[in-house]
Every structure is written in C-alpha cells, then in structure tokens.
Amino acid sequence: MSSISLSSVLRRALFAVIGLALTLVLFFCAGLRFNPTPSLPKGIYCLVSEAPTKNNLVSFCLEGEFAELALERGYLEPGSCPSGLRPLLKRLAALPGDFVDPSAFPIRAVDSQGRPMPSALLPWMSGVVPSGMALVLADHPGSFDSRYFGFVPLESLQWVEPVFVFTPKGN
C-alpha cells in the first residue's frame, strides 16, 4: 500500500514539475519577461514588436567580459541569453547622437559588497552616443547598467511594456 502511495506522490510531483516547466516555456515564448530585481519595478513585462524609443523600457542580453563579471559577482541570474544570463531590463536613456553628461549619472566606486566597480569604462561617459549604440540606465541608483558596462548595441534592444508590476507599500 505504501508503494502505491509513494508512486502516486511521485507521479503527481512529476506532473507538477512538467506543468511548471511548460508554463515557463509558454511564458517566455509569449514574449513575457519577469523582473525580480530592483532595477525597475518588479513584475511582468511584455515584449513589443516595434523599435524602442528614448525613455522606453528595454530588454537585452549582456555579453562579453561584463556578462562574466555580472555572473561571477551575482549581479545577474542564469537565464536564456547566449552568455547564460537572464536578459536585463533597463530604461533607454540615450540614442545615437545624444550628448551624454557624465555628471548626470553618479557612478559608485564599489558595489554593495565593497568590491571595486569597473573604472575602465569611465572614458565612454563624455560626448555623443556613437552610431548604432545606446545608453541604458535603471531607475534604481545601485543598478548594474551602462554606467559600468558602457553602451549597448541599439539593435540588441527589445522594447518592453509593464503588464503587472508590484508596487511596494508606501509608494
């Protein structure tokens, strides 16, 4: 009798895991993204098929040495990007040809764990956004964004709109 009960429990658990996996795949394939970070309001966002414009929220994959740094330091979780990370959600702050004033974007010398932030990127922060590139920033001042990893290719950005966001109490 106990083997039947155990078998039944295992079967139900397997169906639950398969159901959850299918739900997550459908969620992603439907163009929905979940933001669990404080960079932007936590919640569900939907991909928009049109090209993003300034101040739109965008999703993109971080690549290269900064993707490795983000993974090593735990800034980003594993996900579906080619780098193995979760796509980032940020605000499109500047487009090609826009002037970037470095004093408008405070840069932290160390992260929340006291580790030095990349400083080799500071030279990008003055002048005009180059052709084909964009500046992406988060609403949260402690976010890992273009202040630290530089411009991102404009073609890599996907416009997203909030579907359901969680507003903390007191806001």
DSSP structure string for 51-68 = PP-TT-EEEE---THHHH
- Alpha-carbon distance of 80 to 45, in angstroms, equals 16
Please name the amino acid found at residue 12: R
pLDDT tens-place string over residues 2-44: 556 777 777 787 777 776 665 555 555 567 877 788 778 888 8
92: closest CA among 130, 122, 134? Answer: 134
Instruction: Flag the least confident range among 67-71, 89-93, 101-105, 154-158.
Output: 101-105
Do 128 and 97 touch, CB atoms closer than 8 A?
Answer: yes
In three-state secondary structure terms, 22 is helix
87: closest CA among 74, 99, 76? Answer: 76
Q: Which residue has the higher pLDDT, 165 or 52?
A: 52
Confidence at residue 34, expressed as pLDDT on a 0 to 100 scale: 79
Do 134 and 95 touch, CB atoms closer than 8 A?
Answer: yes
Q: Which residue has the higher pLDDT, 117 or 61?
A: 61
Domain boundaries, the chain: 1-30, 34-165
Do 108 and 118 touch, CB atoms closer than 8 A?
Answer: no
**113-126 as b/e, with b when 16 or more CB fall inside 10 Å?**
eeeebeeebeebbe
Do 57 and 160 touch, CB atoms closer than 8 A?
Answer: yes
Tally of CA atoms within 13 A in the half-sphere of 21 that contains its CB: 6
Please name the amino acid found at residue 21: A
Instruction: Flag the least confident range among 28-32, 64-68, 77-81, 128-132.
Output: 28-32
Confidence at residue 120, expressed as pLDDT on a 0 to 100 scale: 46
Domain 34-165: CATH class, spelled out: mainly beta
pLDDT tens-place string over residues 123-166: 666 678 999 999 999 888 788 888 888 889 999 999 999 988 88
Q: Which residue has the higher pLDDT, 110 or 171?
A: 110
